[in-house]
Each structure stands twice: as structure tokens, then as C-alpha cells.
Amino acid sequence: MKQTSIDKLSKIYSYLKDDEQWSYCAKLIKEVLRAETPAAGASKFDIYRFVGSDKLRPVMQGVYYDGEWRVASDSFKMIAEKGDWGEELQGKIIGKDGSEIKGHYPNWRSILPKDIDGEILGYEPISFDKKALSEKIAEYRAELKAVLGKSTQWDTAWSFSVGGVNFSCKHLWAFVSAGVDTLYIHKTEKNRAAIVRTEKYVGAIMPIVK
């Protein structure tokens, strides 16, 4: 469907959605918009998707090299990728442009449970459907398109439930690019950061606390 047709349908939807007589037609239009609105397509992993943008904390805008791990975080999500990064990078924080950022990187290991390499005590692994997440993002975008006549790449209010705990779609989708489909969620303290662990990655993602 051409973009002009989508725009026209969006305008029609905005007129009909609150009309009781035509609400059914509005629902049909919304389904068409949902089908025509692309979800977040599968993307290649880029660790710089995890860095922060706070200019007051420049070290968080880079990737920190710590032994076999390189780490990135924006305070809402964190990921550490295992690999052979070379001695010349050890202990350095490297920005997206390749320059070194001077400063002290926070103790990222303190965020993770001490038993991260074995059974993560107190947490339970809960898998989530990556296709369902993609469809939920498409639904959010279609709804925004229908109401406002325009969409956006991301909205911080978009959430997705994993095991009854809500997480930011944007933050969760960043982990999907790393092949993650399971979160370790604390059994009793749901406001704690959920843990990510695969053969290549460890990390954490904060839930949305309402």
C-alpha cells in the first residue's frame, strides 16, 4: 500500500474511532494500518545501541573493555559481550567514533548476581516470544499513526510484558538483536533488574515501574 493511502486511512480512522455507529469500521481500518506498518525489523547486533547519551556522564557514552568482556550501558539496560578484544583496548572506554573517553567506568559486575556463571539463585528464567514483541511494536506504531497521522521509530511508553513484568519495548528489542529470548526475573522482587545470560552475553534490563 502506498504511503498516501495509509495517510488517508489514518485520517478516516481518527474521525470514526470515537463514533459508536462506525466503531467497527474503525477497528477494521486499524487492522489494515497494523498490517501495513512495519515492525522493528530484525537488525544486526550493535553494542553502541546500549550506550547512554547523558553528556554529564561521558564515560557512559562509550564501550568499556574489561578482560574478555566489553561493556555498554545507559543505566536502563546493560550488556557485556564476551570476546578477544586485544591488549591495546584493555581498560579503555571507546566512543562510537573510535576515540578514547577518559574517566572511570562504574563497576558493572556489581549489577549482576554473583552466581551469574551457575544457577542464578532467586531468579527464574522466563522466555518471551520475539515475534509477539515485534507485532506489539507494530501495533503501537499503527495506533500512533492512526491517531496522529504519523508514527515514530520508538516511544518510551511502549511496553511489553514478560512473566507479568513490563519492560520498555525499545530496550528489550536491543537485546533481541543479540539473540536474547529469555529473561531471568527475580521470583519475589519484581522491581529488580532482570538478568540476561547467553553463551556470549550477560546483561541486565530494568523493568518499567508504575
Q: What is the pLDDT of residues 108-136, one digit of tens each?
A: 999 998 877 788 889 999 999 999 999 99
In the chain, how many domains are there? 2
Q: The whole model's pTM is what?
A: 0.78
pLDDT-derived band at 180 (thresholds 50, 70, 90) equals: very high
Residue 3, all three cell numbers: 504511503
24 and 91 assigned to the same domain: no
- What is the distance of C-alpha 10 from the center of its chain? 27
- Mean pLDDT for the stretch of residues 91-120: 92
Tell which phi-psi region holds residue 67, choosing left (phi > 0), alpha (psi between -120 and 50) or beta.
left
Residue 102 domain boundaries: 47-109
Dist. CA 206–CA 192, nearest whole Å: 7
> DSSP string spanning 10-45?
HHHHHHHTT-GGGHHHHHHHHHHHHHHS--------
Contact 100, 55 (CB under 8 A): no
Predicted confidence (pLDDT) per residue in 120-179, tens digit: 889 999 999 999 999 999 999 888 888 777 777 788 889 999 999 999 999 999 999 999
Beta bridge partners of 82: 69
Q: Which of 109, 131, 148 is the last residue of a domain?
A: 109
Residue 114 lies in a domain: no
Q: DSSP code of 110?
A: G
pLDDT at 20: 61
pLDDT at 21: 59
105 and 174 assigned to the same domain: no
